[in-house]
Structures are given as structure tokens and as C-alpha cells.
Amino acid sequence: MYRIYVNEFCKMDMIKDVYETFDVFQTMIFVNKKGDAIKMQEYLKNQGIQAEKLIGGIDAKERDKIIDDFRRTTTNSLISTNVLARGIDVPEVDLVINYDVPYISDFGYKLPDCANFLHRVGRTGRFGTDGVSLTFYTDETYDDLLDQIETYYDIKIEKIDSLSTMKQILLEMRNKDVDNE
């Protein structure tokens, strides 16, 4: 699990940079708001990147088709709100991106949404496959929420400073898997 600082106004560009830095593979991107999922899908489409969105309000038949296409890798990228954080089993999700740190709003304060964080990052590395999660944070508040999630689960969400670092981590992880076969 990794985190990277991203300027609030550059988050969409960072998603594009992810696609330019890494080979295309199964990616789930989680956002906190339905409107952000809609904007992101349109932005990626304008960049020539195919991605489907799965948000509340989509009828069951369309939702099932989107999930099946993702499972079959007909679609490589899926943008979702927390509607997909639980209850979907896709064997090989290589990368989960938390575009937004999940939080609970409590009388104007932001509290970490530990359960949804766990369910989001739990979409990768399933069924004995490798995979990583990357969480964007935009300021000290969200960095602090990630610190609180670390404490709650007694885990480490390592800070990285660039996508190049993330690429190196993925390459090393994949090479280790090849060496172990």
C-alpha cells in the first residue's frame, strides 16, 4: 500500500500519468462522489483511455454487464464510488487507486473511513495474485487520515514521491513472482 501527494487541481492529470507510466492492466479507481466518477470517465475518454464507471443509479442489467466486461478484461479500467468497494470478486486487479481518501463527515470534521479503505484496497492482490494500491492525498488533512488508518489496522501505507518509484516497485514485485515460479 502506497500514498502519493497530488495537488488537488492536478489529480486528473495524475490519473492520465498513471496510464502513461504503466502498461495497461486491470485498474480500479475509487472516488468519493458520483460526479467525480462521471467527470473522470469523460476526461479519460478525451485522453483516449477507455474506462467504465459504476455508480449508484445504474440499472442492474447495465451494472452486471460492466462488471462482467471488467472480469473478462474486455474493460481494463473501472471507476467507482464505494458501491464496488465490497462484494465484487475479480481475480486479477493489478492496481487500485484511491483517487480520494475515504472519509466520514462528522459535524464538519473528517474522520477516516477505515472500513471502506480496507475494502477498496482489498480489491487487489486477491486469489494469490499480486497487486498494489495507491492513494492520492492532497493536503495534511488527508495525510493525517491515512496515518489514522495505519494506526487503526497496524499497517504501513508507504509514502512515495513519484510514479517512477511506483513503477520500480511493480517491476520488482513482478520479477520476484517470476523468480519464484
CA distance 60 to 176: 40
pLDDT of residue 132: 86
Domain that includes residue 169, residue range: 2-180
Grid coordinates given for 124: 487487489
For the domain that residue 103 is a member of, what is the CATH number? 3.40.50.300
Grid coordinates given for 32: 468519493
Total structural domains in the chain? Answer: 1
Q: What string of pLDDT tens digits covers the 181 residues of the chain? A: 899 999 999 999 999 999 888 876 789 999 999 999 999 999 999 999 889 999 888 888 998 899 889 888 888 899 998 775 555 666 678 889 999 999 999 998 999 999 999 988 887 765 455 678 899 999 999 999 999 999 999 999 999 999 999 888 888 877 755 445 4
